[in-house]
A and B are shown apart, each in its own frame.
Chain A
């Protein structure tokens, strides 16, 4: 790996990491070490190390953490571990608040090295969030590790094989006595859009329209079909729709057996650039321009006076999505339910 892409701080001996971290904080005056969570990031791509270090710096400015960045260099001929440490500081009320980052390079195929570096360097009593940036493998030997994970973060939008990956993720979540919370950044990415859609129906007059939806149209960017499907799954789950597949034609059926058609349209632009819910009389649309920070929510026809509103869409940088995920806390009870509904559509 080239030095240009890999500069995660001061090189240290693995056995002296905690001691060297301690030395970082000697005589630092107004600097305060802070940590609310353990955030571990696992990658198998050396080029991601620099980007992840930058991302950790952004995360640390809002979520003080002990960050553990692990680069698994699995093809290395010999087994070995190298480590680096650094700190990310930012000013808060004239003080500097700092988070620590420990970076590991795990060379070769050691079945236990990953779990060991994690176990040895977690900040005690703090939640453990693991962001897995590589394809998941069947969790044969790592049950012990997975049971320690409080929040397993991943991004299903990056997967090449969602059909194969989702079942593994489900297995992992079930390993730790169902304690691990699955945090799909793809689900988090939809949060602002879900809020924008939900706000239409906060008004009592608009609420009955949900029982009359006849068609859904979602416009998604190339490569963001899983995002669109998750959004569709969420709508179906919340509104009690069942998937109805006849001769390769998929629609939903409402509780009253009415048919709800859906169309996923691929177009260059934002991850989801448009979602439209249509009843016979009314249409509820949320649109986002490419690169725009806002949604334009429009309701026309039906029991609500037509209106248009600008709503925050949230930034779509990965750091912003991760920050949103970490800020929310709590579990995602609807995620797996939504996934259940759309899993048959993933393969298409």
Chain B
């Protein structure tokens, strides 16, 4: 939206953002898990908060045969189960009256022609004015045919005075060439400004708060550099195994599933320079610079800077669980990593010499995602005589669960002798702001409807991230990256990963 467009004077002083223009949201893969668990509950919550545009239409596009009524009933059940706000019958009825089902194979061009007709009818009936948002909630192998059919049927073209956008779910490609190819396919149908590559981590409040923490508090940004930071640890752990997703996961692995997108996004937000302003491109420009500054890890360096591993049988949350190779639909000789630890280096002025340790894994003792900045120690002068180890300061940004920020520092233990112990200052979102925060998908859907791409990955971000990841994957595949290590389920990963941080005189944080 142009900044010199006339503004609604009644919006002044209201904190709520402008409600986006009415639109039709077409969800491909509408019978899938994502739509039931996330998208529909998110849309309902937006409606309950008064943030949805009037007369929005939601059209589910999927293969199975069903009526609008059956589809609405299924979605209502899902919304009652997964919505963060209790479903109000009156509001659901009003919201559900705008939900429709469109049955077609993605490969069936006729199905897109009838979709176009249906959307025109809805425009006339509901006043959605030709604004269309297509959500590709399907596997990446389906993207090309859907995008091609959208293009052939002319649905990608916005009518005069209207807009047409596409939201693409991860994984966005499986490597750089496939990502470029996919980007090209998307761009044959949609302009970059109309393409919204979703990474739900960016929609989380705590991820959005990283910029506020850094750039709205003078005390942090002053020490946010190589002069004061010893190293950074970014962790995403989960106790779950592959949970019936072996078909997808065994082809993907932790590197593609998590590192290439979520963890590198967190790294860029942590390492980026202050943007010139808060526009989408200004922020994304700075994030891309970080990705470009990442020292590529290739060839023999891969064994030195990365560790990959698979979980074996063990115990998680009191239950005995099987190893990865014994999971259903996982090939017995699979080399797919369920755990990755790596040392990344951002070769720029701010971060030269500061390692960024990234680790991600399944079947770890607990679920947690966080960024921890470990600060350098104080000069060993004043308290040398006390023969005490003074723990370094650690600033932790907890992304999930229990979102918040904590700072570890040293304090004198009460008493006549000088004893120093670490203490923690802790800020919990839940404690301070009791209200439930919106789900990531609520924010992201609303942003896409409003045309705000700040929290979405741009083409060059995705491709730069693949460049970094591909070098590692190639070395692993060629055997240069060392063997796949193992770790027992319910432990914090393989010993090899400990060695990675040990050579910098550190250990992984105990979460």
A residues contacting B by CB (< 8 A) are 32, 34, 36, 61-64, 90, 92-93, 95, 97, 191-192, 194-199, 201-204, 207, 210, 235, 238-239, 293-294, 297, 304-307, 309-312, 327-328, 330, 332-334
Contact = CB atoms under 8 A, between A and B. Distances in A.
Contacts of A304: 127
Contacts of A63: 433-434
26 contacts: A61-B434, A62-B435, A64-B434, A90-B434, A92-B434, A93-B428, A194-B14, A198-B8, A199-B19, A199-B54, A201-B10, A202-B20, A203-B21, A203-B22, A210-B8, A210-B10, A235-B10, A238-B10, A294-B88, A304-B127, A309-B54, A310-B47, A310-B91, A330-B15, A332-B13, A334-B13
B126 interface: yes
A210 B431 contact: no
**Chain A's interface: helix, strand, loop or mixed, by majority?**
mixed
A197 B402 CA distance: 37
A93 B11 contact: no
B317 interface: no
Contacts of A333: 13
A303 to B, nearest CB: 11
Given A202-B11, A312-B48, A36 B432 contact: yes
Nearest to B123: A305
A95 B426 CA distance: 14
B55 interface: yes
Interface of B: 5-6, 8-16, 18-22, 47-50, 53-55, 88, 90-91, 94, 126-127, 401-402, 428, 430-435
| Residue from B21, B48, B127, B434 having most chain A Cβ neighbours under 10 A | B434
Nearest to B8: A201
Contacts of B88: 293-294
Nearest to A309: B54
Contact of A194 (B10, B47, B127, B430): B10
Contacts of B434: 61-64, 90, 92, 97
A198 B6 contact: no
A207 B16 CA distance: 18
Nearest to B18: A202
**Chain B's interface: helix, strand, loop or mixed, by majority?**
loop
Contact of A197 (B5, B10, B435): B10
Contacts of A95: 431
A239 B428 contact: no
Contacts of A328: 15
Nearest to B432: A36
Given A93-B430, A210-B10, 14 more contacts: A32-B431, A62-B435, A63-B433, A64-B431, A92-B430, A195-B50, A198-B10, A239-B10, A294-B91, A309-B55, A309-B94, A312-B49, A330-B15, A334-B12
Contact of A305 (B18, B91, B127, B432): B127
Given A195-B14, A311-B50, A202 B21 contact: yes
A334 B13 CA distance: 7
B406 to A, nearest CB: 13
Contacts of B91: 294, 310
Contact of A238 (B5, B9, B48, B432): B9
Contacts of A64: 431-432, 434
A84 B361 CA distance: 52
Contacts of B50: 192, 195-196, 199, 311-312
A319 to B, nearest CB: 13
Contacts of A210: 8-10
| Residue from A93, A97, A239, A310 having most chain B Cβ neighbours under 10 A | A310
A207 B54 contact: no
B430 A195 contact: no
A93 B10 contact: no
A242 to B, nearest CB: 15
Nearest to B22: A203
A39 to B, nearest CB: 14
B428 A92 contact: yes
A299 to B, nearest CB: 8
